[in-house]
Structure 1
Amino acid sequence: MPAIHFKLRWPDGREMRCYSPSLVVKDHLTAGVRYPMPQFMRVVRVSLHTASERVRQKYGFACSMALDQLAAIEEVAQAYDDLAEVEVLGFED
C-alpha cells in the first residue's frame, strides 16, 4: 500500500509534515488550497480514518501511525478558532 506525506501550513505560519498510509488523502485534500479550520478538520478526520481502514482491510489491523498523526493534527488545531485557515502545501510520495 503506497504511503504519502502531506505538508500543512498552520495559521501562525508553522509548517507540519504529516503521514498517511494511503494515497486516499489526495482524494480529500488539494495542494495549494486554504481550508477553514472546521472544514479542514472534518476532511482530515475522514481521510486518515479511511486510510487506517484500508490498512485494516489489507492487513487485519488499523494503522496506528495514521491515528497518531490525526491526534497530532487535532492537538495543534486546538490552538486556533473556527475562523483560522490551514493551507495544504503539497504532497510527497
Structure 2
Amino acid sequence: MPEMRFQIEWPDGTQETCYSPSLVVKDYLAVGETYSLEEFVTKIRAALKIASDRVQAKYGFPCGLALGQLKEIESKAMGYRDLPDPKVRAIQFIE
C-alpha cells in the first residue's frame, strides 16, 4: 500500500507535514488550494478514515498512524476555530 505525506499550512502560517497510509488524500485535497478550517478537517477526516479502512481490509486492523494523525489534526484545528475565517492551504504531496 503506497503511503504518502502531505504538507499543509495552518491559519497562523505554520507548516506541518502529515502522514497517510494511502494516496487517497489526493482525492480530497488539491495542491495550492486553500480550504476553510471546517472544510479541511471534514475532508481530511474522510480521507484518513478511508486510508485506515484500506489498511484494515488488507491487514485486518485499522491504521493507528492514520487515526493518530487525524486526532492530531483535529486537536490542532480546535486552536484556530475562534479566528475569523481560518484557512488551511495544501502545499504539496510527498510520495
In structure 2, the residue matched to 1:88 is 90
The runs of 5 or more residues in structure 1 that have no matched partner are none
In structure 1, C-alpha distance between the alignment counterparts of 2:11 and 2:38, rounded to whole Å: 13
Aligned residue for 2:56, secondary structure, equals: helix
Q: Quote the residue 1:33 is aligned against.
A: 33
Q: TM-score, normalised by structure 2?
A: 0.95
Q: Deviations over 1:48-72 (max 9, x none)?
A: 0000000000111000000000011
SS of alignment partner, residue 23 of structure 2? coil
The corresponding residue for 1:61 is: 61
Q: Which amino acid aligns with 1:31?
A: V
Which whole-Å CA distance do the structure 1 matches of 2:57 and 2:40 have between them?
A: 26
Aligned equivalents of 1:33 and 1:10: distance in 2? 13
Between the aligned residues of both structures, percent identity stands at 45
C-alpha distance in structure 1 between counterparts of 2:44 and 2:14, whole Å: 18
User: Over aligned residue pairs, what C-alpha RMSD do you find?
Assistant: 0.9
Greater shift in the superposed pair: 28-37 or 79-88:
79-88
* Whole-Å separation in 1 of the counterparts to 2:68 and 2:91: 21
* Partners of 2:85 and 2:67 in 1: CA distance: 25
* Residue in 1 that maps onto 2:52: 52
- TM superposition shift of 1:83: 1.6
1:7 matched residue in structure 2: 7
